[in-house]
């Protein structure tokens, strides 16, 4: 089997791949998340994930690279990770009592053949009405600061989520079902 490289520093993505038993090496992409104004969100997510995969591909002559990018969309606005407590508060206030979508774009790239498949998955998340006190308490935990949309569904942020429609793992940053289906095209089978 080819060597598998996860082009991400995300501890959540690492844990998800470990959960399904994949043997892989982490080589975090140097590709910065870039804002593309006016681009359709699914296309944007796939494009960023492809750039992340390509940014590490040259270091591996015969490997399968997995890269991903996750962000939220509320209305027509893409929301990434907050850079400050103030941004986290603003994001959580905007999400309170509303639904939003979480989109993850992922790319699987074979460095020998240069075959690349990029897909995107969307999950709808319904947030409860969050009080100012709850937002303040949650922001002070620090959890929202490195999470797309300013919450972690797999952490304390779970208490802010009323329900979801779609892939739970997508909200964590890696849609496992869709990814494993694409990996089969590259000769990588989980089961």
Q: Which residues are catalytic?
A: 69
Q: Which H or E run includes 16? A: helix 11-19
Q: How far apart are alpha carbons 101 and 118 in whole angstroms? A: 19
- Within 36-172, residue ranges assigned H as helices are 41-57, 85-95, 132-140, 168-172
Closest CA to 33 of 15, 47, 54: 47
3-state secondary structure of 104: strand
Task: Tell how far CA 116 is from the center of its chain.
Answer: 18
Placement of tokens 């209305």 in the chain: 75
């Amino acid at each position: 089997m080819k060597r598998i490289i996860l082009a991400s520093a995300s501890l959540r993505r690492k844990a998800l791949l470990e959960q399904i038993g994949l043997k892989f090496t982490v080589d975090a992409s140097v590709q910065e998340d870039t804002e593309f104004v006016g681009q359709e969100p699914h296309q944007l997510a796939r494009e960023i994930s492809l750039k992340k995969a390509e940014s590490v591909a040259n270091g591996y002559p015969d490997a399968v690279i997995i890269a991903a990018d996750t962000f939220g969309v509320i209305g027509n606005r893409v929301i990434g990770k907050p850079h400050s407590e103030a941004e986290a508060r603003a994001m959580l206030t905007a999400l309170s009592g509303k639904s939003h979508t979480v989109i993850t774009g992922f790319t699987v790239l074979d460095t020998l053949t240069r075959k690349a498949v990029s897909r995107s998955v969307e999950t709808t998340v319904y947030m409860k009405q969050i009080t100012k006190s709850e937002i303040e308490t949650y922001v002070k935990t620090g959890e929202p600061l490195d999470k797309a949309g300013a919450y972690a569904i797999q952490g304390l942020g779970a208490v802010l989520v009323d329900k979801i429609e779609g892939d739970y793992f997508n909200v964590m940053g890696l849609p496992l079902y869709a990814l494993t289906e694409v990996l089969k095209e590259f000769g990588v089978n989980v089961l």
